[in-house]
Amino acid sequence: MLTTPPRTFVSVPFFFFFLLFLSLPLSSFSQSNSVYNSFLKCFSDKTKSPQSQITDNVFSQTNPAFSSVLRAYIRNARFNTSSTLKPTIIITPRSESHVSAAVTCSKTLNFLLKIRSGGHDYDGLSYISDKPFFILDMSNIRDVSVDIASNSAWISAGATLGEVYYRIWEKSRVHGFPAGVCPTVGVGGHLSGGGYGNMVRKFGLSVDYVEDAKIVDVNGRVLDRKAMGEDLFWAITGGGGGSYGVVLGYKVKLVPVPSVVTVFRVEQYMDSGAVDMVHKWQSVGPKTDPNLFMRMLIQPVTRKKVKTVRASVVALFLGRADEVVALLSKEFPELGLKKENCSEMTWFQSALWWDNRLNATQVDPKVFLDRNLDTSSFGKRKSDYVATAIPKKGIESLFKKMIELGKIGLVFNPYGGKMAEVAVNAKPFPHRNKLFKIQYSVNWKENSAEIEKGYLNQAKGLYSFMTGFVSKNPRSSYFNYRDVDIGVNDHGANSYKEGEVYGRKYFGENFDRLVKIKTAVDPGNFFRNEQSIPTLKNEKGMLLPEPGKARRWSRVGGATVVATVVLHVF
């Protein structure tokens, strides 16, 4: 959507917009300061706090800390460029009253409010826009309160998964929570979009264990489950929190984990059984013992100066090594698992291992408290779901295609087990009856428009190639793997139709209920982004006047974006 001008951008239009910038500095900065002062006064009034006490929570573009606060939770370097449109204000609340005031004051000033938790929104929808906006950065609201006696925890939206796991580990070695394997992912986005991890086959989705929640609605009210009602509670447990309000946190039920678990990694290449292994995995991964989660990684590599494909099974077994070796020797001999491939450890240590900590049993657990701020690489993600196994010839052709493309990799995540036992409308997440989910993944380090275009084309090319092997009508996608290629919303006259395109892919038939809930709780469509849930119809008197055109995130059309940057930022 928002585009970045390539390095080879011609000088004439750039010079024109540079002159435009020089001609407007005083009025533009004056306007920005006016907005900041108006917001600060409103925020002070609403929180009943002197302005001197809240300036550390409201950052204008002229604040020396503005850039570091903005960059801290940008997890994709594609959206961390000098020409990316910056927010007019960043708010970093520390209390419920701060969040309530931020919503009310943003609405009063007619500014779009982007809500950022951990910043892992793959296509940046939580922190960039092509129109003037504020960012509500929830990273300071990060409390995690674990109560082992009740097997529960209250988790604030700005906490990270690593912090959640660490706080559980502090209290117990036999409790866990079924969520993602990346420790810097923010809870607010992860749970509101469904949430899954390497215990998904044993326990299901993260949101299946949410017992209560708090949200700030469009009127600035703080609502718990009882106050918000079951419809809204259902919507924010898998339907994306940012469409209906600002999620403050969730109360979750903890799950029992054994004192010893087993992890292993087994790799094979094209010339040593990888095709057979991947093909057989499809009938074993989603159907084996629910205590076993085997992720399949497929990656084109160069080995002995020859281009090939490496297939890797990375696994967690909620039990001892002897058990899983015996199980897979019968069910999955193609894997060739041996006990020496396995490592036994605690569940928390397995989380460290999944985060690529090689000596997981020796690592200081406090590494999960490190948020790794401002450390993003360039990347692109896409997703698919598979309902019927891909034939062996399909796997062979897939490998050839991946070698041809060069770098784009795939991650297969098996379902089955508990996932298959829960109704598809129990939560907004509708994909439970699929065999497995596919993530398309490519990262790079070079800040180059041409290189970026090449990798984005690789992602689109492999996605197109997979059309015949994946779900249809609709071709499904996972909401937490945001992908603007499948559709964006201008929030204009065709808002519902545009929203239905990506909405059906993310939510299937659950999209209809989400739209009704959205219309009821936010009829003016204040809470919105390029892939939010639309209202049933365009309301008159929109809170945000004259929505602009949503653009796809690429580096095409740089001149238009430079104009936007100059007119709205400076």
Which residues are known catalytic residues?
481
Distance of alpha carbon 124 from alpha carbon 72, whole angstroms: 13
Distance of alpha carbon 368 from alpha carbon 356, whole angstroms: 12
Element holding 518 (H helix, E strand): helix 510-521
Distance of alpha carbon 314 from alpha carbon 265, whole angstroms: 5
Distance of alpha carbon 508 from alpha carbon 52, whole angstroms: 48
Of 120, 129, 116, nearest to 246 by C-alpha is 116
Distance of alpha carbon 488 from alpha carbon 547, whole angstroms: 13
Query: What type of residue is 564?
Result: T
Task: Count other C-beta atoms under 10 Å from residue 39's C-beta.
Answer: 23
DSSP assigned state of 279: H
Distance of alpha carbon 478 from alpha carbon 437, whole angstroms: 8
The helix, strand and coil proportions of the chain, stated in percent and rounded to the nearest 5, come to 40, 20, 40
Residue 440 and residue 463 in contact, taking contact as beta carbons nearer than 8 Å = yes
Distance of alpha carbon 422 from alpha carbon 434, whole angstroms: 12
Distance of alpha carbon 245 from alpha carbon 96, whole angstroms: 13
Burial of 373 (0-12, 13-18, 19+ CB in 10 A): middle
**Residue 187 half-sphere exposure toward CB, CA atoms < 13 A:** 31
